[in-house]
Structure 1
Amino acid sequence: MAATDIEGYLAFFRAAEALKDTLRSGHTRQGRPESTAEHSWRLCLMALALADALPGIDIARLIALLIVHDLGEAVSGDVPAPAQQGDKTVSERHDFVSLLAPLPEPARARLLAAWDEYTAVETPEARLAKGLDRLETVLQHTQGANPPDFDYAFNLAYGRAHTDAHPLIAALRAPVDAETERLARR
């Protein structure tokens, strides 16, 4: 590997480290804000654990989509779903492309293609990735020590189309929604 490629990979890895400090609206059990990197890690764990129950799904491809889906947030941060106005895809893609800039062209193209696939939600893996992303978010909101004014009711509709698109994800979401309803009534 050429020295310039090595430096490019290292620059990308260093820049992606910012995802560890990119905070989300959810909190851990101990009340600490969750990072986007932690969210992405659990998504990958979910896909890996569910692999046997997902016939016909390319698990390696699914995990690749889950790893890259929020990487652009390392540049401009996360915008919680209730605060989003309009389609954030253009700005997130721009951020992701800038993050990929140091990489050699084949790596840039491969990672960007995975991000574009996730965003288009047209393949079985992308539809599953979107559903898992929404499920992990509402699951975290039921587990975390969220602030007293946390809007649990928002989660009852959040990402419903994506989680309902796969029967397994819908089945996993049902008890999470029951817990969300209980928390919303408190």
Structure 2
Amino acid sequence: MDKSELTGCIAFLQEAERLKNVLRSAHTSEGRRESTAEHSWRLALFAMLLEDELPGLDFARILKMCVIHDLGEAIHGDIPAIHQTPGAPDKSAREREDLQTLAAPLPERLRAQLLSLWDEYDNAASPEARIVKGLDKLETMIQHNQGMNPADFDYAFNLGYGTMHTARHPLLAALREMVDEVTRERALGGLRAPR
């Protein structure tokens, strides 16, 4: 890379830092709202733990998708799944547009690679993307079960959340059963948030 391309990379990283300030609806075990960057980090960690259970998949591609899947939220923030209703603005279209804006300083080849990975993820266009989609839903649900949530938190919503994505692989389905069991207990008020 030449100096101008390296400068573009630094400018992109500086803009991507905004993701650290984007808050999601999930709460941490201490009760503060988590950032989208924290969610993306734990999603990548989750995938890393399962690498040996996903033979034949391009694991580097999986990690890259984990890192960038919500990057577009750095500009306009997150829209919680519970607020994504028919007739609402298209979350995917907005995130892709925001990712294009965010990636503008990058050299063309890196910008194209980033957008291609994001499109692959968004469209669940590969086995790797389908795994990341499912793990993304599961990580969110695990956080909801672990978080110190407000008293009116809707645990029942999670029992139907992302089922299409978590049913696409036996490993995801097995994890889903475990997470749903905890969700049901939290919904009934029989389980406190772990510390």
TM-score between both structures, scaled by the size of structure 2: 0.93
- Unmatched tracts of structure 1, length 5 or more: none
Choose the corresponding residue for 1:141, options 135, 141, 144: 144
Measured against aligned partners, the alpha-carbon deviations of 1:12-44 in whole angstroms (never above 9, x if no partner) come to: 000000111111110110001011111101111
* CA deviation vs aligned residue, 1:124-157 (integer Å, no higher than 9, x gap): 0010010000000001000000111111000000
- Does residue 27 in structure 1 map to residue 27 in structure 2? yes
Which residue in the other structure is 1:80 paired with? Answer: 80
Partner of 1:49: 49
Equivalences for residues 15-164 of structure 1 within 5 A: 15-86=15-86, 87-164=90-167
Shift of 1:102: 0.4
1:69-115 per-residue CA deviation (whole Å, 9 max, x = no partner) reads 10000010001001113431111100000000000101101111100
Mapped partners of 2:130, 2:166: distance in 1: 9
Q: CA deviation at 1:2?
A: 2.4
**C-alpha displacement at 1:3, in angstroms?**
2.3
Pairing 1:173–2:176 present: yes
TM-superposed deviation, 1:180: 0.5
Q: Post-superposition, which runs of at least 4 consecutive aligned residues in structure 1 deviate over 3 A? A: none
Q: Which residue of 1 aligns with 2:4?
A: 4
Determine what percentage of the aligned residue pairs are the same residue.
56
Give CA deviations for 1:155-179 in whole Å, capped at 9, x if unaligned: 0000011011111011011111011
DSSP 3-state at the match of 1:52: helix
Q: Report the TM-score, using the length of structure 1 for normalisation.
A: 0.97
The separation in 1 between residues aligned to 2:4 and 2:84, in whole angstroms, is 38
Which residues of structure 2 form unaligned runs of 5+? 190-195
Size of the aligned set, in residue pairs, is 186
Tell me the SS of whatever aligns to 1:156. Answer: helix
CA distance in 2, matches of 1:122, 1:115: 10
CA–CA distance in structure 2, aligned partners of residues 157 and 33 of structure 1: 22
Cα distance in structure 1, aligned partners of 2:144 and 2:13: 29
Q: Distance in 2 between matches of 1:173 and 1:20?
A: 28
Instruction: Tell me how large the CA RMSD over aligned residues is.
Output: 0.9
